[in-house]
């Protein structure tokens, strides 16, 4: 199949379609004819993977008619979003678009613990995701800075830790990790009711987007121990390790809480996956904990790291009994991955390479390219952020299928927005757009069709559309030369300047 790259770019869609064959003129009468599951279109899509067939569509535009063909409602929805984009930038040009996704998991993670945004904000981002043909919203619902989902069996999770002192994570940290109550006028936070989350799940499903909840364990769990100290490690003298970062994998109270929470979470979310975190456990309190030492003796463990593997395997078995699969950050590779688990590679690409070699399904979201809380331009001109320079060009250049990876086990790619330094909804959108455009194209379009300059022109035009819809976006017109170059590290600025001056 030919890829009409230049013509597809001229069409203006993001993500770029697989194929575009132009014709003369524009559509002057938007009469839409729908043709579902025709033998001819089924034949055209017969060689595609099942997930691609579900989302495949063909749009034929003539001066007086638009014909849409697809096999499923999802395919028709994707076609409709293409037409929505085309209408937003001008008259729809005549021609034929044939399109389907490259990857099945095309995701965005929003950290709701460090900064709480609320249902209306999430719905607004779901609308943007639908326009970009993304299909997974991953919600980071709890972390040390706040628990964001009401749990009937453990109400103090929100009762004691949904509100804190300090609008940003670092203000809370500087204030020595103080929580407060909902009625404190100086408090910051909030949480989602079950009814709100069910409504969100339905709202997303109507747009063919799956919401994956994340319940973090065993690290990043200071707030859980604050609300329920019985899940914390115990000194040999009987005192509890108050303020500990990690849950105690030796305590049965830990598993009672986690299983009760997961039961209620599974009842709300329809996703086939439940994310269990698994990253950055310090394990500092485990070596001397009486419960952890007992667990190690019972299981024959010689290293405290094996306790994390025990917890992950036990939780995976519990989740599996409810018909779901777990996803874990790539640290779960270090202590034995349960069969059926999915590995999400965030510390570069190594986790994906290892998971692929071991035969596990994996999702790529390396912090080098897919962390949108990192700077997108020069420090002096941007709001405070973290990490390296992940510019639009740099993130667009990411290829999730590295040499040595098994494409059969690559589920997809995901952007992550951690919100330690992003306290407002406007700031969050500023960090997402247009970089999320780049991820959408990487996840959907054929890798051979990617070309940055044409993409940049399309992204610039789509930003105007997004701003017209009320989104707060990065200003591409003021983007620095360094960011436009695609360099990642700020210390490369002098090297870039020398190269630029030599070339010009």
Strand partners, 61: 66, 95
Do 348 and 367 touch, CB atoms closer than 8 A? yes
Is the torsion defined by CA of 301, 306, 308, 309 positive or negative?
negative
Strand partners, 211: 137
3-class secondary-structure state, position 35: strand
Distance CA 486, CA 335 (A): 36
Is the torsion defined by CA of 392, 396, 397, 399 positive or negative?
positive
Do 58 and 51 touch, CB atoms closer than 8 A? no
Strand partners, 147: 142
DSSP run (H or E) holding 327? strand 325-329
- Annotated active-site residue 142? The verdict is no
Instruction: Say which residues have a Cβ less than 8 Å from residue 9's Cβ, sequence separation at least 6.
Output: 16, 451, 454, 455, 457, 458
- How, if at all, do strands 361-364 and 273-277 pair? unpaired
Residue in the structure block whose two tokens are 């996704």: 101
Longest dimension (CA), the chain: 83
How would you list the strands of the sheet with 32-36, edge to edge?
19-26, 93-99, 57-62, 65-70, 32-36
- Annotated active-site residue 280? The verdict is yes
Distance CA 287, CA 383 (A): 41
Do 429 and 471 touch, CB atoms closer than 8 A? yes
Residue from 220, 241, 275, 369 carrying the catalytic annotation:
220
Residue from 74, 143, 377, 479 carrying the catalytic annotation:
143
Give Cα separations from 87 to 13, 208, 358, 388 (angstroms): 11, 21, 46, 37
- How, if at all, do strands 142-143 and 146-147 pair? antiparallel
Angle between helices 194-205 and 252-268 (to 10 degrees): 50
Q: What is the token pair recorded at 5? A: 């790259």
Residue from 280, 299, 303, 464 carrying the catalytic annotation:
280
DSSP conformation class of 140: E
- How, if at all, do strands 342-345 and 325-329 pair? parallel
Distance CA 477, CA 429 (A): 17
Torsion of CA 70, 73, 75, 76, to 10 degrees: 80
- Annotated active-site residue 403? The verdict is no
Residues known to be catalytic: 143, 220, 280
């Amino acid at each position: 199949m030919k890829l009409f790259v230049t013509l597809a770019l001229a069409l203006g869609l993001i993500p770029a379609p697989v194929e575009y064959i132009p014709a003369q003129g524009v559509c002057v009468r938007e009469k839409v004819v729908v043709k579902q599951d025709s033998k001819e279109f089924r034949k055209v899509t017969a060689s595609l993977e099942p997930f691609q067939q579900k989302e495949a569509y063909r749009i034929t535009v003539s001066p007086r008619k638009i014909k849409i063909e697809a096999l499923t409602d999802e395919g028709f929805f994707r076609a409709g979003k293409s037409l929505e984009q085309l209408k937003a930038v001008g008259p729809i040009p005549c021609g034929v678009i044939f399109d389907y996704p490259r990857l099945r998991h095309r995701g965005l993670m929003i950290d709701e613990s460090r900064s709480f945004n609320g249902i209306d904000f999430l719905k607004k981002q779901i609308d943007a995701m639908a326009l970009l043909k993304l299909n997974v919203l991953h919600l980071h619902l709890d972390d040390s800075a706040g628990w964001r989902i009401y749990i009937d069996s453990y109400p103090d999770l929100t009762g004691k830790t949904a509100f804190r002192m300090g609008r940003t994570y670092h203000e809370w940290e500087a204030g020595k990790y103080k929580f407060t109550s909902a009625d404190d006028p100086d408090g910051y936070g909030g949480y989602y009711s079950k009814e709100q989350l069910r409504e969100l799940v339905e709202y997303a499903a109507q747009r063919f987007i799956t919401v994956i909840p994340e319940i973090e364990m065993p690290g990043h769990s200071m707030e859980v121990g604050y609300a329920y100290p019985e899940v914390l490690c115990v000194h040999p003298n009987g005192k509890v390790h108050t303020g500990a970062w990690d849950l105690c994998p030796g305590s049965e109270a830990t598993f009672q809480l986690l299983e009760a929470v997961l039961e209620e979470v599974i009842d709300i979310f329809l996703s086939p996956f439940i994310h269990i975190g698994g990253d950055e456990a310090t394990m500092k309190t485990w070596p001397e904990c009486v419960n952890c030492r007992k667990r190690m003796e019972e299981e024959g463990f010689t290293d405290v790291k094996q306790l994390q593997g025990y917890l992950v395997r036990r939780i995976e078995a519990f989740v599996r009994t409810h018909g779901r699969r777990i996803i874990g950050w790539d640290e779960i590779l270090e202590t034995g991955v349960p069969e059926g688990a999915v590995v999400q590679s965030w510390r570069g690409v190594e986790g994906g390479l290892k998971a692929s070699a071991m035969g596990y399904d994996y999702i790529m979201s390396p912090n080098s390219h897919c962390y949108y809380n990192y700077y997108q331009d020069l420090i002096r001109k941007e709001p405070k952020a973290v990490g390296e320079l992940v510019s639009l060009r740099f993130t667009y250049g990411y290829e999730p299928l590295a040499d040595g990876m098994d494409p059969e086990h690559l589920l997809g790619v995901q952007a992550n927005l951690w919100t330690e330094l992003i306290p407002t909804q406007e700031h969050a959108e500023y960090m997402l757009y247009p970089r999320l455009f780049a991820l959408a194209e990487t996840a959907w379009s054929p890798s051979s069709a990617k070309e940055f300059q044409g993409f940049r022109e399309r992204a610039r035009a789509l930003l105007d559309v997004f701003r017209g819809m009320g989104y707060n976006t990065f200003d591409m017109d003021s983007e620095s030369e360094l960011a436009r170059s695609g360099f990642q590290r700020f210390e490369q600025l002098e090297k870039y300047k020398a190269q630029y001056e030599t070339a010009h």
